[in-house]
Every structure is written in C-alpha cells, then in structure tokens.
A and B are shown apart, each in its own frame.
Chain A
Amino acid sequence: MFDSLLPAVSQLITDWYPLFNSLRIAAISTVTVFFLGILAAYYIARLPRLLKGVLDVVLTLPMVLPPTVVGFFLLMLLGNRRPLGAWLLETFGIQVVMTWYSAIFASAVVAFPLMYRTARGAFESVDPTLRYSGQTLGLSNTYIFWRITMPACRQGILAGTVLAFARGLGEFGATSMIAGYIPGRTNTISTTVYNLWQTGQDELAMKWVLVNLAISAVVLLAVNMLERRDFLPTTRVKRPKRSEEVA
C-alpha cells in the first residue's frame, strides 16, 4: 500500500514541480524586493534632486529593459566564469546559475522597480506634517516610520507588493537565460508553457496557462479584499479639503 503510494506522490511532485517552483521563486523574490524596495524608496525620497534623479533612472531601468538584456547582465555578473559568480563558486562552492534559485535573482531584479516606484509614490504622498508633528512630539524616527508613515501608505505598499509578486511569477526572459529549462529542477510555469508549446504539447501548455490564470485571479481578489478592510470600522467621513500654505 505504502510502496505504491510513494511513486504516486513523487509523480505528483514531478508533475506539479513548475507550480511549486514558480511560487517559491515569486515568494522569496517578493519578500526580498519588499524590504529592499521600501528601504530604497524611503532613503531616496530624501536625497537631493540630482542624485535622486540619477538613482531613480538606474533603479527603474530593469522595468523598461527587455528581460533578455537583464538576463545578459545577470549572466555577466553571476556566471561561473564571471567575477562574482567565480568567487562565490570558489569560496562557498555555490553555483548561482542554472539552479532553481537562480531565477530568484531574475525575478527580484525585474520586480524591484515596481516595488520601489509604488512605494516611493506612496511615501511622497504622505502629508509631511504627520512626520513633522511626530518629531516635535518627541517620537523617534523609527517609531514614526513604522507606526505613522507605513500605515499611511499601506495601500500603495500593498499594491507594490502584489505587482512585484505578479511580475516575479510571470518572469520569463531573464529566468530562462539564468536558470534555463531543466525539467524538475529549474522549470517554472512560464518556461514550462513555452517549452510545451514549442514541442507541440498544446494541451499540457493550456493546463499551465489555466493554472497561471487561477493564481493571478486569486492574488488580485485577495488585494481587493484587503483594501476594503480599511481603518474605519463602519462609515467613512470625508475630511474637508484644506489648502496648505506653502511658506
């Protein structure tokens, strides 16, 4: 009984490997990008205009570059014979290309600008007088960040996280370059769909397309439900608009 179950389970894991792999890649890269994006947004929003402009361009580039170009850059950096990749391989024995976690780099780099930009927009839309009043009341900057600023731009940050997750889940170009397509080892939903289609297995490809659609729908639904749980338990009273004096 048990003997016959084991192959069935391992078969199941092999069959659903792309789903499992895609989800863990997207999840890990989203968590990474969540913190990095917020950190970058928070500090860059405070920089002088010129530096802000330059960093903004550099950090947003992966969003507008073709994923293959991102993949090329990553390979140039992390490939086994490239400086960083060779060092990692020699010192720690870690190979960072052609493994399942290679795709995390690809997803994170491509998803980062989405998190960074939405978070920055959210931070900049927070009324600065909230921070000022917190400071004059003696609250520490850390307290102000976590208890006042973050809650105030919760929606923007949530939106950025979801976008980053969706983008990470759907990453194809850079992923296929840095992680390749090794069935049961590095294949994700998107690379699987491509390969199945290329080898003429349209019906199987359709199965994965549907799986992907289902995940995306669930994610978006979750966001909508989260957004409705607002600060106010019952009614929302609109505050009257106030013109804020410049000087």
Chain B
Amino acid sequence: MSLELKIRKDFGGFVLDLELSAGQETLALLGGSGCGKSMTLRCIAGVVTPDEGYIILNGRTLFDSKKRINLPPQKRLVGLLFQNYALFPNMTVEQNITAGIRGKFSRDEKRRQCREIMEKFYLTPLAAHRPAQLSGGQQQRVALARILISQPEILLLDEPFSALDSYLRWELEQELMRVLQDFPGTSILVSHNRDEVYRISDRVAVILDGRVDCCAPKQELFSTPPTYQSALLTGCKNFSRVRRLDERHVEALDWGATLTCSLPLDETVCYIGLRPHFAHLTDGPGENVVPCRVLQVIDNLTDIIVILATPGGDSGHSQLYLRFKRADWQPYADAQTVSLRLDPSSLLPLHAGAIPLEGAE
C-alpha cells in the first residue's frame, strides 16, 4: 500500500513542483491557502494533469509523462472527498451513494450494498432526501459513504472540515478517524489547521508555495520543526535571524542577545524560534537571560499575552509575543522592564526550507 509521486505543473505564475511518498498511513499536507495542496490531490485523482512527473499508486502507474501514461480519473480508483463534498444536487442520498458503485451489479445487489453502507453511516432515515435538505455534517457522511462504496485504493481528503462549524467539526473528526482506521490503504489529508492535522495524521508534509518544505512524523515535526515555515505552521510565533557561533551558541541578531541552545546547531541554521509559552520570568542575570521592555499586555481568556521589546529593538522580529499564566505574570503586572530566561531546550534552530532567507520579514 503506497503512493509515490513527483509532479510538476506550471499554472503561469504559480508552479507546483513536489515529490511525496506515503505508505499505509495518513499523510497530512499542511500549508496555507493557495499553496498547492488541493491541486496536488486533484493531480493524483486525475482531474488535473501535471506537466511532467509520475504518480504511482500501489505499483500501478497512474501518470507518467515519460512513458506517456495518463489514466483517466475513472480508472484510477482514487477516492477524493471535496471541500464542498460535491454531492449531486439532483439526486437523493440513496441515488448519490448508488452512483458510486463500480462494476456491473444487479439492481437488487446495488440496493443491498447501498443499504448496508447507509446503515453504517446512520443515513438510512435520510435515504430519500436531497443534498440541499441535509446539514453540513450529513452531507459529509453521504460523500464519505459514496466514496467508500466505490472501493478506492487511496483516500484523498481535501479540507474535510472547513465547511463546518466548530461543534460539528469535532463530531465528524471522530467519525472520520474511525473511517481512516478501518481503511486499508493510504490516506492523504489536506488541511491548514495544525490541531486537526496533529490529531488525525501519522506524518506531515509542510507545503509552501507549491513545494514540500519538510516532511516528518507528526510528533517530530511538532516538537522540533526543522524549518521556518514548519515552525510558523506549528504555532511558533517568535523568530530571530541568527549568526552561528559554535555547536551550541548563536547570536540572535533580531533579539540582540547571545543564546545557548541545547539542540545541536549545524552550519545551515538561519533562524531561531521560540514558542509563546516557553519563556520564564526571572529576577537576576544569567545564561540566556534577555532584558526586555514591556510594550503591551493583553488580558486573554485563559492567560496573559505580553508583547516585549528585546535589546534588538521594538519592531518586526525584534518583538517577542509571549503568553504567561496569570499567576506567573502577577508579580510583574506593573513592571516596565522584565528579565526573560529562554530555556536552552526550548529554542528551535531552524533552516530556511523552501523559502529564501530574505523572506524573513
């Protein structure tokens, strides 16, 4: 059970150029809107044809520009769940699902298969409804049932929850995870929501500007993101350009401080990142202590957001965006300046990834 792909397509101004492989797992494509993740799914499904490259699913070549192979979407056995579910508006739930059955079966057999899957997705009472009469969650269940009945070899999920409100989201996410666990093949999830990606997927590929920025198992990616972009997407808010001093020390140019880092620093490190929760307030000087000026204090629902100016300045990357527990911040409530201790283990050494260095601002 595997998918191998290397594709390139020029959309005139935007170039999709990426290489991915996935086994029997759920691979998430994480990236901002317009980065090409949905287009990648469409290329795999065959409704969009890449300019060059190859797509191989379970040993079957779906597309190969060199061998001039381009299977029509009908023959690819790919299940693609669209963002808007793409249910046929003129058909009932039952007709929609029946339309997904491949192969020649008798009418009775088709009905039996359809009834079976409707039962599984709690759709039986809705069999005669049209898509316009269904809620977003029900529509998604119909779309999933319709895809599964067509017995695809791979599941492609394009932002499956973006059309739903947050309450429904949670419920459907549980349902989708159940489906993914039962599904015997590869699944690819496209999303811009890091929480969703972390909960659902096994491995994450960060997509940036049509290219793969980095790809790693999810725990690894979320604990130590290797690139600027992956750190940004996994919730890191503070970055400084750095000059490497040695294996453990950098000069944080934007923050105006020399810092010790417990993760090894190689030659190519160009940023250092700090998550908003990982700074401590301290009283005295010491290793990794940075004196800061308080710019703004925002009372948040669950914690306190503090914006600080570092010795490096008070704008752009020199600002720090941090969050403290209410009790931790209390003693400093009226302070103009504070001393921050940045734990060496919480500093993330980052590489440029798919974007060039000057894209920092």
> Interface residues, chain A, CB within 8 Å of chain B?
127, 129-140, 147-148, 151-152, 231-232, 235-240, 242, 244-247
Is there an interface contact between A134 and B99, defined as CB atoms closer than 8 Å?
yes
Is B88 an interface position by the 8 A CB rule? Answer: yes
> Residue of B at shortest CB range from A235?
B133
Are A137 and B82 CB-contacts (below 8 A) given A232-B132, A237-B132?
A: no
Is there an interface contact between B83 and A136, defined as CB atoms closer than 8 Å?
no
Is there an interface contact between B38 and A136, defined as CB atoms closer than 8 Å?
no
Is there an interface contact between B163 and A242, defined as CB atoms closer than 8 Å?
yes
Are A132 and B34 CB-contacts (below 8 A) given A127-B84, A137-B147, A152-B90?
A: no
Bound Cα distance from A152 to B130, whole angstroms = 13
User: Size class of B's contact patch?
Assistant: 35 or more
In the assembled complex, which residues on chain B have CB atoms less than 8 Å from the CB atom of A134?
Answer: 88, 99
In the assembled complex, which residues on chain B have CB atoms less than 8 Å from the CB atom of A132?
Answer: 42, 45, 47, 73, 80, 82, 86
Is B36 an interface position by the 8 A CB rule? Answer: yes
Nearest chain B CB to A96 CB, angstrom units? 41
**0 or 1 for each of B65-85: is its CB under 8 Å from A? (1 = yes):** 000000011111011101110
In the assembled complex, which residues on chain B have CB atoms less than 8 Å from the CB atom of A131?
Answer: 47
10 cross-chain pairs, A with B, having the tightest CB-CB distances, nearest first: A133-B86, A151-B90, A135-B73, A129-B86, A132-B47, A138-B102, A137-B100, A129-B82, A247-B39, A136-B80
In the assembled complex, which residues on chain B have CB atoms less than 8 Å from the CB atom of A152?
Answer: 89-90
Are A232 and B130 CB-contacts (below 8 A) given A135-B47, A242-B83, A247-B14?
A: yes
Most buried by A among B99, B131, B136, B150: B99
Pull 15 A–B residue pairs with CB atoms less than 8 Å apart, ordered by A: A129-B84, A130-B88, A132-B82, A135-B46, A135-B72, A136-B46, A136-B73, A139-B74, A147-B91, A151-B89, A232-B132, A237-B132, A238-B132, A247-B36, A247-B39
Is B347 an interface position by the 8 A CB rule? Answer: no
Q: Out of A139, A231, A235, A244, name the residue touching B90 (CB < 8 Å).
A: A231
Q: Out of A130, A137, A245, name the residue touching B83 (CB < 8 Å).
A: A245
Secondary structure class of chain B's binding surface, majority of residues: loop
Is there an interface contact between A247 and B130, defined as CB atoms closer than 8 Å?
no
* B residues 124-173 in Cβ contact with A at 8 Å: 130-133, 136, 143, 146-147, 150, 152, 159, 162-163
Is there an interface contact between B130 and A231, defined as CB atoms closer than 8 Å?
yes
In the assembled complex, which residues on chain B have CB atoms less than 8 Å from the CB atom of A135?
Answer: 45-47, 72-74
Bound Cα distance from A138 to B102, whole angstroms = 6
**0 or 1 for each of B20-53: is its CB under 8 Å from A? (1 = yes):** 0000000000000111111100100111000000
Are A247 and B38 CB-contacts (below 8 A) given A132-B45, A135-B46?
A: yes
Are A136 and B78 CB-contacts (below 8 A) given A130-B86, A244-B83?
A: yes
In the assembled complex, which residues on chain B have CB atoms less than 8 Å from the CB atom of A148?
Answer: 88, 90
> Interface residues, chain B, CB within 8 Å of chain A?
11, 14, 16, 33-39, 42, 45-47, 72-76, 78-80, 82-84, 86, 88-91, 99-100, 102, 130-133, 136, 143, 146-147, 150, 152, 159, 162-163
Are A136 and B47 CB-contacts (below 8 A) given A231-B89, A231-B90?
A: yes
> Residue of A at shortest CB range from B48?
A132
Is there an interface contact between A240 and B136, defined as CB atoms closer than 8 Å?
yes
> Residue of A at shortest CB range from B79?
A136
Q: How many A-B residue pairs have CB under 8 A?
A: 103
Bound Cα distance from A148 to B240, whole angstroms = 54
In the assembled complex, which residues on chain A have CB atoms less than 8 Å from the CB atom of B36?
Answer: 247
Secondary structure class of chain A's binding surface, majority of residues: loop
> Residue of A at shortest CB range from B147?
A137
> Residue of A at shortest CB range from B139?
A239
Bound Cα distance from A233 to B86, whole angstroms = 21
Nearest chain B CB to A50 CB, angstrom units? 14
In the assembled complex, which residues on chain B have CB atoms less than 8 Å from the CB atom of A129?
Answer: 82-84, 86
Bound Cα distance from A232 to B90, whole angstroms = 9
In the assembled complex, which residues on chain A have CB atoms less than 8 Å from the CB atom of B90?
Answer: 147-148, 151-152, 231
> Residue of A at shortest CB range from B150?
A137
Bound Cα distance from A238 to B134, whole angstroms = 10
Bound Cα distance from A239 to B134, whole angstroms = 8
> Residue of A at shortest CB range from B36?
A247
Bound Cα distance from A227 to B136, whole angstroms = 26
Q: Out of B39, B78, B99, name the residue touching A139 (CB < 8 Å).
A: B99
Is there an interface contact between B74 and A140, defined as CB atoms closer than 8 Å?
yes
In the assembled complex, which residues on chain A have CB atoms less than 8 Å from the CB atom of B14?
Answer: 247
In the assembled complex, which residues on chain A have CB atoms less than 8 Å from the CB atom of B37?
Answer: 247
Most buried by B among A134, A138, A246: A138
> Residue of A at shortest CB range from B95?
A147
Most buried by A among B39, B74, B102, B146: B74
Nearest chain A CB to B155 CB, angstrom units? 11
Bound Cα distance from A60 to B101, whole angstroms = 41
Bound Cα distance from A138 to B100, whole angstroms = 7
Beyond the given A136-B74, A138-B100, please list 13 additional residue pairs across the A-B interface where CB-CB is below 8 A.
A129-B86, A133-B143, A136-B46, A138-B74, A138-B150, A139-B74, A147-B88, A237-B133, A240-B163, A242-B162, A245-B159, A246-B34, A247-B35
> Residue of A at shortest CB range from B33?
A245
Bound Cα distance from A238 to B100, whole angstroms = 25
Bound Cα distance from A134 to B88, whole angstroms = 9
> Residue of B at shortest CB range from A132?
B47
Is there an interface contact between A245 and B34, defined as CB atoms closer than 8 Å?
yes
In the assembled complex, which residues on chain A have CB atoms less than 8 Å from the CB atom of B83?
Answer: 129, 242, 244-245
Is there an interface contact between A232 and B133, defined as CB atoms closer than 8 Å?
yes
Nearest chain A CB to B137 CB, angstrom units? 12
